[in-house]
Structure 1
Amino acid sequence: MSSAPATGTIPGYTAGTWKADPAHSEVAFTVRQLMVSKVCGRFTGSDVTIVTSEDPLASSVTATIDTASLGTGNERRDGHLRSTDYFDVGKYPTMGYRSTGIRPSGDGWVIDGELTCRGVTRKVSLAVASNGFGPAESGARRARFSATTRISRRDFGLRIPMDGIGGVVGDEVSITLAVEAVLQK
């Protein structure tokens, strides 16, 4: 069993409660369409809290994502994704993530947790890298993290009427997160 990456290898590691800065953070996704192209999009509304502990394995993260904030650069497609066929934003205005544990993995970490989307909760693990801790121009202390995962959209009830007849939209969704968080006082 490997040991946890030492906090000393993360320059400026600081224990505390951090809030994601929406102007410098992104929740993005990619999914295959028609088995030829990819559709990329992002959610612009999110509330992410990270609690870093003296022992990094005791740290945690919670996130709430505004499903109506979805954007792919195509209003017609975005409207369809917000409809009852996909996110059903009228009934499920948010999706959430809550960590249940952290474990070392190579030079980074894996955050195990639960993602709730459309009222369905599934276990989802995030491969995480710390991209540093340090001051910002404003003097506030900032931390930067990136994370990736893949989920099955069908596991969360994100189905469309033509799912069984030709792969209009791929099942696997790649999710990437880039979070710049500010230390709370």
Structure 2
Amino acid sequence: MATPLPSDLSTGTYAVDAGHSTASFSVRHAGISKVRGTIGIAAGTITVGEDLESSAVAVELDAAAINTGDENRDQHLKSADFWHAEERPTWTFTSTAVTADDDGYVVTGDLTINGVTQSIDLPVAFEGAAVDPFGNKRAGFESELVINRKDFGLTWNAALETGGVLVGEKVKIALDVSAIEQN
């Protein structure tokens, strides 16, 4: 049996509006604080089918478009120690299934970071749809998840004199997406 869509979400193709969307992250630093940052959204398409099962998501992130508020740290993250942004400039997410759960929706798909692909379940909340002052029909989505950076080959670290390591393994990712219906 097909799962119906939210009543205010029209079928069709939506382009992710990078200027009104954010991909952010946070990770433990020295075990006592968090480093927060954003990464650029290069492109994205959300295809809303007649039902959830025929819907799809594809997004590209720009590994070089990072901002943590510290240029030296940003350059280090772009380097071969972490993201190899020069060799692997694009990160991707391509859905393989869209389903409903008690809290909203789950978009299962393949996340590729640093040339390594892992299947993830992305919990998604549909925040609604509206027509903006320019006549564009928009749909809003939010998501939060935690990944282990080592699962994507991001293993660089430094030992601390007091014990522990400089960079935590768990990375919290938050997405706030505005998408515009294409005609």
TM-score tier by shorter-chain length is over 0.9
Q: Secondary structure at the match of 1:68?
A: strand
Task: Answer whether contact 2:53 2:97 (CA < 8 A) is retained.
Answer: yes
Structure 2 residue aligned with 1:140, among 136, 144, 148? 136
Letter in 2 for 1:180: S
Tell me by how many angstroms 1:46 deviates: 2.3
1:179: which partner in 2?
177
How far apart, in 2, do the equivalents of 1:95 and 1:106 lie?
29
Q: Which blocks of at least 5 consecutive residues in structure 1 are unaligned?
A: none
Q: Which blocks of at least 5 consecutive residues in structure 2 are unaligned?
A: none
2:126: which partner in 1?
130
Task: Answer whether contact 1:11 1:132 (CA < 8 A) is retained.
Answer: no
Letter in 2 for 1:89: A
1:40: which partner in 2?
36
Letter in 1 for 2:115: G
2:74: which partner in 1?
78
Letter in 2 for 1:181: A
Deviations 1:114-162 (A, max 9, x none): 1111111101111100000121110011100011111110111111152
How far apart, in 1, do the equivalents of 2:106 and 2:24 lie?
18
Tell me by how many angstroms 1:11 deviates: 4.7
Task: Answer whether contact 2:24 2:37 (CA < 8 A) is retained.
Answer: yes
Q: Secondary structure at the match of 1:45?
A: strand
Structure 2 residue aligned with 1:116, among 112, 117, 120? 112
Tell me by how many angstroms 1:53 deviates: 0.9
Task: Answer whether contact 1:163 1:169 (CA < 8 A) is retained.
Answer: no
Task: Answer whether contact 1:11 1:133 (CA < 8 A) is retained.
Answer: no
Q: Secondary structure at the match of 1:116?
A: strand
TM-score (norm 1): 0.92
1:51: which partner in 2?
47
Structure 1 runs, 4 residues or longer, greater than 6 Å off:
none
2:17: which partner in 1?
21
How far apart, in 2, do the equivalents of 1:157 and 1:181 lie?
31
Between the two proteins, the alignment pairs up a number of residues equal to 180
How far apart, in 1, do the equivalents of 2:19 and 2:159 lie?
36
Structure 1 residue aligned with 2:151, among 147, 152, 155? 155
- What is the root-mean-square deviation of aligned Cα atoms in Å? 1.7
How far apart, in 1, do the equivalents of 2:158 and 2:34 lie?
18
TM-score (norm 2): 0.93
Task: Answer whether contact 2:22 2:41 (CA < 8 A) is retained.
Answer: no
Task: Answer whether contact 2:157 2:165 (CA < 8 A) is retained.
Answer: no
Tell me by how many angstroms 1:113 deviates: 0.5
Task: Answer whether contact 2:27 2:167 (CA < 8 A) is retained.
Answer: yes
